[in-house]
Amino acid sequence: MKKILLLCCMVTMLLGLSGCSPSQPNEDYGWLKNAIDTSVRQLEETVTDVGDSVLLPRSIWTGYDMDFLCRQLQRNPATFKDSLRIKPVKDALGTRRYCTSVYDWTSGFFPGSLWYAYQLTGIEDLKNDAVKFTNYLYPVRDYKGTHDVGFMMNCSYGNAYRLAPADSIRQILVQTADNLCNRFNPNINSIRSWDFGKWNFPVIIDNMMNLDLLFYVSHLTNDSKYKEIALKHAETTLRNHFREDHSSYHVVSYNNDGSVESKCTHQGKNNESSWARGQAWGIYGYTSCYRESRNVVFLQQAENIAALIMARVKTGDAIPLWDYDAPDTAETPRDASAAAITASALIELSTWAKDGQMYFDYAEKLLKSLSSDAYLAKVGTNQGFILMHSTGSLPNGSEIDTPINYADYYYLEALSRYMQVKGLDYKSL
C-alpha cells in the first residue's frame, strides 16, 4: 500500500512540475467543441461575406458618449479634451469595421485566426482562405514605420510558415525582422514603438509582443542577432516599465542617452493605472522571453504579472474590466481581448513554472468564461466575429465593448495551446 501511495505521489509531482494535466476521458469537452465549431462557422461566414474585396475585418464600429467616457476616466468634463476621439459617422455604427489598409496594426489577426482554425480542425478550405488573406499583407515586408510589423507579419506569415512552410515566406519574415531590428537603438537598448506623437523615443509595453517574430527568425536563420536584440529590449523594458507591484506603465519614452524622458498612458485610465491589455501583453511577452532564453528573471516577471492579474481582477468570471483601476460599476466595459491574451500566455507559462497547474486552471477558467453565451457569439451574429465585449482604446473613444480581431486570434491560439497541453485533438472531442 505504501508503495502504491508513493507512486501516486511521484506521478502527481511530475504532472505538477510539467504543468500538464492528462486528458481525462470522462471530462466534458462540449464547451470546447462548441467553441471551435462556432469559431469556424463565424470565420467561414466572414470569408464569404468579404469575398474578393481585399478587406481585413477588424471590429464593429461603436460610438461613445462623452459623459460615459468622463465617468470611466474619472475626469471632469470641463477639462476633458475631445479633439482626438474617433467619431464614426452615424450610419457606420454597428457595421463591420475593416483595417484602413494592410498597414493597420491589426491586419495580421484575421489571417492568423484562419490559420489557427485550420490548425485546430484540419479543414483544407480554411487553409486556402488563410493563404489568400495572408498574401494581402505582402507589401508590409517593406514597411519600416512601426514596431507593429511583428504583430502583423508573425500572426499572418509566421503562422503560414509554421503550418505550410515555403522559402518565399521565410524571406518575407527575415526582411520584416530586419526592418524591426533597424528600429533598435543601441544607446537606449530598445526597439522604438511609434513614429507619431511628441515623445522622443516611445516604447510601449505592447512591443513585447513583437519579440516573437525576432525569436522565430533567429531559429529560421540560425542567426542569434535577432534574439539578442529581442532580449536586450526585454531587459530594458523590465527595468523601466514596471512599478513595484509589477504592474506596467503603457508608454515609456527615452532620451537619446537612454535615460527615461517620461512615463504615461495612451490607452489606459490614467498614467498610473493598470490598463488591462497592457498587463496581458507583459505576461505573454515575458513568457516568450523565458522560453527562448531560459533566464529565470523573465520567468519570475511573468509569474509576478500573473499574480497581479489574478489578485486584481474584479469580476466573478475573471474577464477583466478594461483597466484594473476602472470604476467597479455595472456600466464599465470589460476587455475580452485581455482575457484571451492572458489565457494563451498562462497556458504556456503553466508548462514552465513550478506551480504550473495553478496557471493552467486559471487559463481554463478564462477560456470557459469566454466560451459561454456571455462572450461567445451565436453563429450568424456579431458581424462574423467570434467573441463579444472587448475594449480597444477607451480614452480615444475607439472600439468600446465590441468584438475585435485580436481577441479572436488569441482566443483561438489559447484553445489550440489548451488542446496541446491536454493532448486532445478535434476529432476526439
Minimum distance from residue 209 beta carbon to ligand GLY (Å): 8
Minimum distance from residue 205 beta carbon to ligand GLY (Å): 9
Write out the three cell numbers for 179. 526592418
CA–CA distance, 349 with 359 (Å, rounded to integer): 7
Amino acid identity of 368?
K
392 binds ligand GLY (CB under 6 A): yes
Task: Pick between residue 179 and residue 207 the one whose CB is nearest to ligand GLY.
Answer: 207
Interface residue with ligand GLY among 206, 348, 364, 413 (CB under 6 A) is: 206
The string of DSSP letters for 62-109 reads ----HHHHHHHHT--GGG---TT-----GGGTTSEEEPSSTTSTTTTH
What residues numbered 82-111 form the site for ligand GLY, per CB under 6 A? 105
Q: Which residue has the cell 508608454?
A: 251
Minimum distance from residue 267 beta carbon to ligand GLY (Å): 6
212 is catalytic: no
Task: Pick between residue 220 and residue 326 the one whose CB is nearest to ligand GLY.
Answer: 326
Q: What is the DSSP letter of 387?
A: B
- Of 199, 302, 212, give the one whose Cα is nearest residue 252: 199
292 binds ligand GLY (CB under 6 A): no
CA–CA distance, 407 with 388 (Å, rounded to integer): 9
The active-site residue, picked from 52, 104, 142, 206, is 206
Helical residues (DSSP H) of 294-352, grouped into ranges: 296-312, 336-352
* C-beta of residue 399 within 8 angstroms of C-beta of residue 392: yes
Minimum distance from residue 105 beta carbon to ligand GLY (Å): 6
What are the distances in angstroms from CA 349 to CA 182, 317, 357, 369?
A: 30, 21, 10, 20
What residues numbered 28-87 form the site for ligand GLY, per CB under 6 A? none
277 binds ligand GLY (CB under 6 A): yes
65 is catalytic: no
395 binds ligand GLY (CB under 6 A): no
The active-site residue, picked from 49, 52, 82, 148, is 148
Minimum distance from residue 91 beta carbon to ligand GLY (Å): 25
Interface residue with ligand GLY among 267, 301, 369, 390 (CB under 6 A) is: 267
Active site residues: 148, 206
Q: Which residues bind ligand GLY (CB under 6 A)?
A: 105, 206, 267, 277, 392
